[in-house]
């Protein structure tokens, strides 16, 4: 299947008699976004900024890797680029926000990779501002982790994604820059 043909209304399997909702073979849940705001607040209460960033980023990365495997198994994309295209498509259908691919460079031979995504309406920025107020730096760590995990799974490289703009700190949209981890060091 092509990402442009994906329709979540047709792909979700509702099984309320068993208390299940599935996308492909993956069990998914519908959860209110305010719970994520509460999670941000709790993490800040029990930890600190760095600990919160690490937990949210790793949570997102596990989510991104799992979603990439689900897409490969259930949607059978033709190639890596089609597989990659399902990432923003899923984000939009899941209501996380509206991503737009702003730049992509990939050379398998030299292992060069760079993905720039502009992301409008991040629910994480919205929830962060609801519970914490305006931020001084980007706060959508779970989305950054998701993008890194999703790309790492597709390209078999250890990717790191940095959020370079964020609505929570007053930018018009969030922006995510993904490269092989070694390039950031």
Are the C-beta atoms of residues 14 and 21 closer than 8 Å to each other?
yes
Q: Which is nearer to Zn ion, 113 or 141 (CB)?
A: 141
Q: Least separation, in Å, of the C-beta of 126 and Zn ion?
A: 9
Q: Least separation, in Å, of the C-beta of 163 and Zn ion?
A: 5
Q: Least separation, in Å, of the C-beta of 157 and Zn ion?
A: 24
> Of 130, 127, 125, 157, whose CA–CA distance to 144 is shortest?
125
161 lies in the site for Zn ion, by CB under 5 A: no
* Biggest distance spanned by C-alpha atoms of the chain: 51
Q: Which of 85, 122, 127, 152 binds Zn ion (CB under 5 A)?
A: 122
174 lies in the site for Zn ion, by CB under 5 A: yes
> Of 106, 172, 165, whose CA–CA distance to 138 is shortest?
165
Q: Which of 90, 166, 178, 180 binds Zn ion (CB under 5 A)?
A: 166
127 lies in the site for Zn ion, by CB under 5 A: no
Which residues have CB under 8 Å from 40's CB, separation 6+? Answer: 52, 56, 127, 128, 131, 132, 139
Q: Least separation, in Å, of the C-beta of 166 and Zn ion?
A: 3
131 CB neighbour count, 10 Å cutoff: 15
56 lies in the site for Zn ion, by CB under 5 A: no
Q: Least separation, in Å, of the C-beta of 62 and Zn ion?
A: 19
Which residues have CB under 8 Å from 93's CB, separation 6+? Answer: 6, 8
Q: Which residues bind Zn ion (CB under 5 A)?
A: 122, 125, 140, 166, 174
């Amino acid at each position: 299947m092509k990402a442009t043909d994906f329709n979540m209304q047709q792909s979700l399997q509702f099984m309320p008699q068993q208390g299940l909702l599935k996308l492909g073979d993956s069990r998914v849940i519908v959860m209110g976004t305010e719970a994520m705001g509460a999670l941000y607040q709790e993490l800040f209460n029990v930890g600190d900024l760095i600990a919160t960033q690490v937990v949210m980023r790793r949570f997102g990365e596990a989510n991104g890797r799992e979603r990439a495997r689900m897409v490969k198994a259930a949607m059978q994309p033709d190639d890596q680029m089609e597989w990659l295209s399902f990432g923003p498509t899923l984000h939009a259908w899941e209501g996380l926000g509206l991503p737009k691919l702003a730049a992509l460079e990939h050379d398998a031979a030299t292992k060069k990779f760079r993905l720039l995504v502009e992301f409008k309406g991040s629910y994480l920025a919205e929830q962060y501002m609801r519970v914490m107020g305006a931020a001084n730096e980007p706060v959508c760590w779970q989305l950054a982790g998701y993008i890194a995990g999703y790309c790492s799974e597709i390209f078999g490289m250890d990717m790191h994604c940095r959020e370079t703009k964020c609505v929570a700190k007053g930018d018009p949209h969030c922006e995510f820059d993904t490269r092989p981890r070694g390039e950031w060091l």
